[in-house]
């Protein structure tokens, strides 16, 4: 009986988000620098749409800061107490970002309802100027984060927040022009509510993804039935059982399982073939495989299931 494994090294610093931390830092600087100006602009103009965009900007800054903090934790080496290191901090960050954004959106929708009942006076000119600057800042931030959003759930969470702000800035620009041209103040809470409703399903999707990882669900790209079939097709393999596949953090999938070998089959050859198959066909670089003989598998009371 033997146990084999493949691994990334003594620590797990090379996460997908870690490769984009400089861009995250630049985006954080831009968002933080503009956030205060947008909040002040929203208060001065009396615009809910602008305040909604400012709230999203605030969550952007917080989300980007959390993402960077999570990356710093993820770069710390594994310890005897935390054998996988701190890579899960990135998933926790994405989860927190999603929860905060949902709460902020709930407040915006409530405020929109109140403003429908009693529309305030809106100052269109300054509202338009602030929204235009916000649009430029968000477009730059999106450009910085676009590449990493397809690789890391952590960066994806930050990207979605910036995307929401960009769309919010566009909507505020439209609302400001309507207020300036027609004086119709109700367009402001309508746009504010629209920004919130647009973000809810996307944020909910991010929350579901992060919770799926925290619950050690199977990565969407991995077909477990096919994986079991392919491992079973390796020469010398009789049976594959107790197969588990999960995600540690974005871009880092892991697998464990038991393989029953034929009598006389080389455990080393099976381990080598299994590791190669997992890496090349399923993108799994970290695997722990227990090789069992038929006699061991058939021992009374043998049951390695969780």
Q: Where along the chain do its domains lie?
A: 18-214, 218-297
Higher pLDDT, 74 or 146: 146
Antiparallel, parallel or unpaired: β 2-6 and 286-293: antiparallel
Residue 66's Cβ-side half-sphere holds a number of Cα atoms within 13 Å equal to 26
Q: CB atoms < 10 A from the CB of 206, how many?
A: 23
pLDDT in tens, 15-32: 555 566 777 788 788 877
CA 75 to chain centre: 17
The pTM (predicted TM-score) of the whole model is 0.70
Tell me the average pLDDT of the chain.
78
Per-residue confidence band for 8, with pLDDT thresholds at 50, 70 and 90: very low
Residue 51, CA distances (Å) to 92, 107, 195 in order: 27, 11, 11
Question: What are phi and psi for residue 285, nearest 5 degrees?
Answer: -95, -20
Per-residue confidence band for 268, with pLDDT thresholds at 50, 70 and 90: very high
Q: What CATH number is given for 218-297 in this structure?
A: 3.30.70.1350
pLDDT in tens, 115-168: 888 777 777 788 788 888 888 888 888 887 776 666 666 677 677 777 777 877
Cβ contacts of 155 within 8 Å, gap of 6 or more: 16, 17, 20, 24, 67, 145, 148, 149, 250
> Tokens 């503009």 label which residue?
34
Instruction: Indicate the Cα dihedral angle 245, 248, 249, 252, nearest 10°.
Output: -60
Second-level CATH architecture of 18-214: Up-down Bundle (1.20)
Q: CB atoms < 10 A from the CB of 109, how many?
A: 17
Please give the Cα distance from 89 to 95 (Å, whole number): 10
CA 3 to chain centre: 33
């Amino acid at each position: 009986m033997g146990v084999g494994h493949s691994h990334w090294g003594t620590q797990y610093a090379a996460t997908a988000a870690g490769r984009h931390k400089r861009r995250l830092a630049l985006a954080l600087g831009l968002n933080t620098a503009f956030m205060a100006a947008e909040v002040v602009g929203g208060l001065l103009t009396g615009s809910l749409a602008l305040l909604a965009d400012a709230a999203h900007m605030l969550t952007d800054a917080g989300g980007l800061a959390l993402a960077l903090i999570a990356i710093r934790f993820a770069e710390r080496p594994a310890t005897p107490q935390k054998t996988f290191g701190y890579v899960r901090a990135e998933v926790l960050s994405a989860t927190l970002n999603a929860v905060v954004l949902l709460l902020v959106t709930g407040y915006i929708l409530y405020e929109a309802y109140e403003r429908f009942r009693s529309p305030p006076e809106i100052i269109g000119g300054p509202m338009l100027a602030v929204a235009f600057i916000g649009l430029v800042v968000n477009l730059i931030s999106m450009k910085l984060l676009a590449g990493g959003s397809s690789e890391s759930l952590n960066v994806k969470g930050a990207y979605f927040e910036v995307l929401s702000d960009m769309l919010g800035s566009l909507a505020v620009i439209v609302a400001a022009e309507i207020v300036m041209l027609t004086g119709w103040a109700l367009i402001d809470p309508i746009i504010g509510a629209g920004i919130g409703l647009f973000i809810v399903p996307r944020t909910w999707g991010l929350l579901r993804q992060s919770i799926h990882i925290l619950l050690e669900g199977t990565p969407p790209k991995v077909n477990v039935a096919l994986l079991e079939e392919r491992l079973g097709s390796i020469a010398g393999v009789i049976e594959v059982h107790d197969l588990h596949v999960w995600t540690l953090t974005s871009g880092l999938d892991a697998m464990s399982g038991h393989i029953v070998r034929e009598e006389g089959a080389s455990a080393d050859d099976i381990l080598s073939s299994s590791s190669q198959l997992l890496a090349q066909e399923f993108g799994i670089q970290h695997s722990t495989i227990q090789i069992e003989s038929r006699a061991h598998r058939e021992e009374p009371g043998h049951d390695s299931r969780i």
